[in-house]
Structure 1
Amino acid sequence: MGGEFGIQNPVFADVAASSELTRGLDGTWLLSGRFALARILRKLMGQGVNHVHLPAYLCDSVLEPVRHLGLEMSFYPIRDNLSADPDPPAGSAVLLIHYFGQINPAAADLRGQAGDDFYLIEDASQALLTDWRSEVTEQTYYLISPRKFGPVPLGGWCNIKLDSAGSNTGSSIAYSSLAARLIKGAYIDDGEGPIIPRTEKFYLDAFEAVEKVLSNKSETDILPNWVVSMVAGVDWSEVAAARLTNLEVLIANLSNRFVAPVSTFAPSEIPLGYPILSENRDELRRNLASRRIFCPIHWPLPAEVSSAQFPEAYSLSEKIMTLPLDQRYKIEDMVQLAENVLELS
């Protein structure tokens, strides 16, 4: 349970159907979410922005385009409920992350303030299937990535319509990612088959190789149309419904034993996973992994984030663990997951 999505029986649809994810906005599909962020930042640099104000609780990959473009950066604290609390320098860009499927509680205020002294960038990658769109202004930008929500090889999108989207050299890395996911899909499809470490090592190494390539490719590489067609071919409504059902079952069976930084989701908020806090997180995670339940950590923090300045973010990073609840799993899987977590805690 958990880990990257395998791909089984992919469906290719008209690329126009991908507008379900982009909320009908014009934009461009690129290879990854970090490429989408890079395109936004590059556009803002052309408008005089040279500083990015970021949440102290974030993934290192978010900083890759900031470092690459040589932009100044500063960080702001987040509250216990993951609400943003920025104090942006004048003329900067503020990155707002919608964590775990929930619209950030600070979003309404920041959307109202954007354009006065700062630009707002909303990262909805963890809230892909939640209705993240607000009133679109020239001071607000959006980015998404579908890879953590469904069986697609690559993908990131931003609401910048590029006249010339760039090179189309992304096909080779997209094929590599597809191959790894097809192999994993075929392997896990045989649920009663033996564990084959060599097969698992192959696709895990392939996933890691894809990430390394993405960290070094140009953000001008667009997403090949055949991948956009795969994104469009996923039944995202079915994905959302399954995740909501699994969330309800998982919460009920955990019996309020854990503190959760996102304790409630609105009916329209579709979860990435269910984050819990545990004082013995690392031991619990190892024990779950021994039962082949793999729970990610969102996230180990980048070196640029000061533990002295942002102790709350570091405390969260050291205790948090995300329980998988995606559409690959049924109600009985959620019951079993909760039983394992409670037993091993």
Structure 2
Amino acid sequence: MIRAQPSLLEWSATNNGSTPDESTATVDDGSYSPPTDVEAFLRQYADTYRYYGSGKCALRDGLAAVCSPGQNVLVPAYLPDAVVEPLFELGLEPRRYAIYDTLAPVIADLESRADDRTGAVVSVNYFGFPQPGLKAIAELADENDWVHVDDNAHGALSVDETHGLLGTVGDIGITSLWKTLPVGDGAVLYCNDPEIADTFEPSDLAGVADSFTRSDLAFVCKSVAGDLLDSTAVLNDAARSLITSRSPQRESDPRGRYESTKVPMSRLSSFVLTRANPIEIVARRRANYLAWHALFHSRPDVTPVFDELPPGICPQVYPVRTAEAKKLLRLLERYGVDGAHTWPRLATAVLEDEAYETAHRLAREIVVLPVHQHIDTDTVVAIRDEIERSIG
């Protein structure tokens, strides 16, 4: 079985503080030593940043520092429904702009939604790749004196050859550590503009918890239980059903999900990011991405969202498009791929507006497959070969 998320137990069993293998490290002339933990990686690319429990809380503090109540913020329509909850809390109006099938912004539509009360524009690096049109958004922000927010929730370790570390392109930026590491929370707010960095005053949502908590213990227990169940196939289905039936249900409304993340980053997440090896994580995710790509890049019924994997990009998932998403999900589940799903859950305001038809279609057709670092690439290859034999 391929699990949806990286394993804390597997990370703890394999983490020994060693330096990256020569095959995965990039060394210029012997004078450069690649970072061996995520915190060192962040320090290498960013001067000013703060930790948070979630990307939405990081976004909340970032916008609070640069926008005033009554202003509006331009955001892409193709976004999960809860992302704009921090804007509502701050008295800001989200104005959603349309995107193309390529995920690039429709610049004419974006400009038509701006006025003299526009304070910021958000770009999104979908699935860990730089958003097509990122440069155009940055130029528009500069021309109109808008704050550019670089939403890099998906690509904490992605370094683009043109833009550098994704998340540090705008005046402020965010990234979500928990989407890449085997932890339950964790995010970063980058203050890339020196003037913003000098005046920034974080809320009590910023920082790291003073000690380990019951939530840390609960995450550890859940992670370990998942690993044990995966290794005991006979008990897997029944035990998972029991756990699901006795677990508290996740908040279904966007505001409830946002409110539940309003805590500083956990001590457990801090512990992991100071010991997790970014070079190895990037290499493993890229290998798994390419293994899936070998299956889907030439199929007539499924189209990869991205034609290639550029150097330096750390993919969050492997995204594909298909008009038969449910059929593909059933096939993947049959072969033991856990966690594949369509993305994202759109806001009601977007679903009810025909102007965002492209976002509607993408949300129905894009299926994301796990590529995280605790998947054995040989397992992906074996499943890929089985699927190829079964469907031709």
| TM-score (normalizing by structure 2) | 0.75
* Deviating more after overlay: 114-123 vs 26-35: 114-123
Q: Which of 98, 105, 108 lines up with 1:84 in the alignment?
A: 105
d(CA) in 2 for partners of 1:201, 1:83: 43
1:252 positional shift: 1.6
1:102 maps to 129
Shift of the 284–133 alpha-carbon distance from structure 1 to 2, 3 Å rule, reads closer
Question: What is the aligned partner in structure 2 of residue 185 from structure 1?
Answer: 224
Higher mean alpha-carbon deviation, 96-105 vs 276-285, is at 276-285
C-alpha RMSD of the superposition: 3.5
Match of 2:58 in 1: 36
Provide the rounded CA distance (Å) in 2 between the counterparts of 1:92 and 1:271: 30
2:29 matched residue in structure 1:
none
5 Å-filtered alignment, 1:1-345, equals: 1-8=2-9, 10=12, 18-21=39-42, 23-46=45-68, 50-85=71-106, 86-87=110-111, 89-90=114-115, 91-117=118-144, 118-131=146-159, 132-133=164-165, 140-160=171-191, 163=201, 165-166=203-204, 175-176=214-215, 178-189=217-228, 191-193=230-232, 194-196=234-236, 197-199=238-240, 201-202=242-243, 209=250, 215-217=258-260, 219=262, 221-257=263-299, 258-294=302-338, 295-305=340-350, 306-339=352-385, 342=388, 343=390
1: CA distance, partners of 2:252 / 2:208: 16
Inter-partner Cα distance in structure 1 for 2:251 and 2:71:
30
Preserved CA contact (<8 Å) 2:125 2:166: no
Deviations 1:91-138 (A, max 9, x none): 33111110112111211222233233221111111121112547979x
Deviates most, 203-212 or 145-154: 203-212
SS in 1 for 2:287: helix
- Cα 1:255–1:5, aligned 2, differ >3 Å: closer, same or farther? closer
Name 2:21's counterpart in structure 1: none
- 1:337–1:60 distance in 2 versus 1, CA, 3 Å: farther
1:312 alignment partner AA: T
After superposition, the Cα gap between the structure-2 partners of 1:30 and 1:279, relative to the gap in structure 1 and judged at 3 Å, is: same
Q: Supply the AA of the counterpart residue of 2:152.
A: A
Q: Is the 8 A contact 1:176 1:206 kept in 2?
A: no
Q: TM-score, normalised by structure 1?
A: 0.85
Amino acid at match of 1:61: A
| Distance across 1 between alignment mates of 2:98 and 2:91 | 23
Amino acid at match of 1:195: L
For residue 215 of structure 1, give the secondary structure of its aligned residue in structure 2. Answer: helix
Aligned identity (percent) is: 19
Letter of the 2:92 partner, please give it. L
Deviations 1:39-75 (A, max 9, x none): 11211224x7710111111111212212333321211
Structure 1 stretch 163-172 or stretch 94-103: which is displaced more? 163-172
User: How many residues are paired up?
Assistant: 342
